[in-house]
Structures are given as structure tokens and as C-alpha cells.
Amino acid sequence: MTTNIVQLDAVSKAYAKRVVVQDVSLSISAGECVALLGHNGAGKTTLIKLLLGLVRPDSGHIMVLGEQVNGNGKRQHDATGFLPENVAFPNAMTGGQLLTFYAKLKGEPRSVVSPMLKRVGLAGAENQRLGTYSKGMRQRLALAQALLGEPRLLLLDEPTSGLDPVLRREFYRILSELQRRGVGALICSHTLTEIESRADRLAIMKQGRFVACGTLAELAREAAIPIHIRVATAPGEASAVAEHVHKRARVEKVNERVLDLSCFGADKMSLLRELSNLDQWVEDVDVTPPRLEEIYAHFTGVGDA
């Protein structure tokens, strides 16, 4: 049976008369990574604060690790790792001193500090003062503190901000390893091209509400965004192939050797079967599914995702 480590049911929150989260329901199961997407002011940060127990909902229920969130749950605090978007550390402390402080808060021994710093690429900076850390080094240190104590839930707000491509890959390798051990994650990110292949499900917020929630394929079907297919043909045969398949797909472009088509998901397999039967003319087929940028733009109404 799938165990939900997070369960939100019809959660709403308002500040004064301004509603910032409205009737939100969401579950995250063990080992699942959910990406929380939306423009600035959509309600993402407030939703994370609600999950952390920093603010309380006006209505609805929030369960984390089987307990009602009320700000006093030690089990929730010890088993939740949080990486904020903007980290602020005291410049006079060293990286080792800061991580030792956080380790004590999580009930972890001093011996975990050096291996954790090495894990995030800061092995040589343990005794370096934080005032000399770059933005990327501070982000890696913040990630290290979020991973202390073997968390069962990670709440990550722009976790790869300031990381170079190598460290970004390493971050997602660590996350995949934790997921295999049953850790659930909620990631806020504006880097859509990066997150689309990493998240199991996508939750898109607009004006405090979820306007879409599901896998990339489910949201693409719901948005009715077409799939693009490029067919490479033998010289001079692209027009003949277009004549055979035009009833199943929209012909976007034809030249001597290339045919660009588009179709909806329900027609994809039948179209590919038909193309495979034309192997005397067809040399290659390249399928491009809908991208997250297109899906995000559709559900949020933002032209430039």
C-alpha cells in the first residue's frame, strides 16, 4: 500500500483579507518527487510555510508523517529537511561550525559534519569563514543542513540556484538516492527545463489555487498540446509520405527529405505504426513530446514561460 507522507485536504490561508492559498489538496507518497510551479506570488512559499507549521491554515487539514501539523510536532521537525530559497548564515562562523550547530538541533553527532560537507563538495571549506563563501558555496551548505538527520521529507525552494552544472547533476543524484530509500520531496523551481525530467508529478499554482496537478503526460493530454514528429525520408519521397499520413496528423512542413507533422497523444501510436509500414521511404522518425514550458504557459496563461 502506498503511504502518503504529506496529505493536504482543502487547505486555505489568508493574510488580512488577501487569500494566498485557496482550497488546496495534495498528497506526496514515500519516494515521490513533486515539483511545485507557479509565478512569484502564486502561493508556493506560503504552502511550504504551512507544511513546516510556521503558519496555520484558516481551514482544511495538513498531515505530515501521519501527524496533524500544528508547529509542535517533534517527529515532523526531526524528519523534515528544508532548504529555503534565500539562505542567511552568520559570516563569522565557519562552514564546519554552522553544520555542527544544525547537526545538534537534529540530534546528530559531530562526526557527520565532515562527510556531509564532502558530499556537497565543500570538503576543503570546512574551516573557512562563511563571509568568504560564494553564493554557490552557501547554497551547497544550505543543502547539507537540509540533508542532516536522514529526513523522510524534503522541502526544497530553488535548490539548485547558484550551483554549476556538475553540482546540479550531483544534487539530483543525491535526491534520486534518497527517493529510492523512501524519502519524499516537494521542490519549488522556476527552472522548468531542469525539473521536467526529475519530478514524478507537477503541481502548478496560480493565484493561490492548483490549476493543474499530474504527470507530464497527464497534463499534456489535459492541455491538448500536440506532439511534434519529424520524419526523414529518402530523397524526393517526403510528399508521398505526407499523402499517406495526412488523415492521421497535421502536416506542418514538407521539403525534399523532411516532413514535419503534429498529432495528439491518442493518435501517436497509430501514426507511428503507419510510418513504420512506409519503411521503403522513411529513413528516421524523431518524436518530440510537449515540453513543460508549453504546459506551464497553457495552465497559467503566461506567454513566456
CA distance 273 to 244: 12
Tell whether 299 is covered by a domain: no
CA distance 292 to 305: 9
Helices in 185-264 by DSSP H: which ranges?
192-195, 216-223, 238-245
Of residues 120 and 260, more confidently modeled: 260
Q: Which secondary structure element, helix H or strand E, spans residue 190, and what is its range?
A: none
Q: Is the pLDDT of residue 133 over 60?
A: yes
Q: Is 181 helix (H, G, I), strand (E, B) or coil?
A: coil
CA distance 23 to 10: 4
pLDDT confidence band for 305 (50 / 70 / 90): very low
pLDDT of residue 136: 84
Tell whether 103 is covered by a domain: yes
Number of domains in the chain: 2
Q: Do residues 185 and 128 both lie within one domain?
A: yes
Tell whether 49 is covered by a domain: yes
Which of 8, 6, 18, 100 lies closest to 61, judged by CA?
A: 8
Identify the bridge partners of residue 210 per DSSP, sorted by sequence position: 205
CA distance 175 to 157: 14
pLDDT confidence band for 302 (50 / 70 / 90): low
Stated pTM of the model: 0.84
Tell whether 296 is covered by a domain: no
Which CATH number belongs to the domain containing residue 71 in this structure?
A: 3.40.50.300
pLDDT, the chain, mean:
90
* Domain finish residue from 185, 220, 255: 220
pLDDT confidence band for 120 (50 / 70 / 90): confident
pLDDT confidence band for 74 (50 / 70 / 90): low
* Domain finish residue from 220, 253, 281: 220
Distance separating the N- and C-terminal Cα atoms of the chain: 37
Tell whether 146 is covered by a domain: yes
Q: Is the pLDDT of residue 69 over 90?
A: no
Q: Is the pLDDT of residue 16 over 80?
A: yes
Which CATH number belongs to the domain containing residue 272 in this structure?
A: 3.30.70.1650
Q: Do residues 261 and 119 both lie within one domain?
A: no
- Which class for 232: exposed (0-12), middle (13-18), buried (19 or more C-beta within 10 A)? middle
Q: Do residues 155 and 274 both lie within one domain?
A: no
Placement of cell 493536504 in the chain = 8
pLDDT of residue 162: 77
Q: Is the pLDDT of residue 34 over 90?
A: yes
User: pLDDT for 77-111, tens place per residue?
Assistant: 678 999 988 888 999 999 999 999 999 988 899 99
Q: Do residues 51 and 114 both lie within one domain?
A: yes
State mean pLDDT over 35-53.
92
Tell whether 184 is covered by a domain: yes
User: pLDDT for 212-238, tens place per residue?
Assistant: 999 998 998 899 899 999 999 999 999
Q: Do residues 164 and 273 both lie within one domain?
A: no
* C-alpha to C-alpha distances, 37 to 59, 77, 143, 195, nearest whole angstrom: 23, 24, 20, 10
pLDDT of residue 294: 92
Identify the bridge partners of residue 82 per DSSP, sorted by sequence position: 155
Q: Is the pLDDT of residue 2 over 60?
A: no
Tell whether 298 is covered by a domain: no
Looking at 64-73, 115-124, 230-239, which range is the least confident one? 64-73
Q: Do residues 204 and 236 both lie within one domain?
A: no
Q: Do residues 205 and 59 both lie within one domain?
A: yes
Q: Do residues 237 and 202 both lie within one domain?
A: no
Tell whether 88 is covered by a domain: yes
Host domain of residue 272: 226-289
Q: Is the pLDDT of residue 72 over 50?
A: yes
Q: Do residues 114 and 50 both lie within one domain?
A: yes
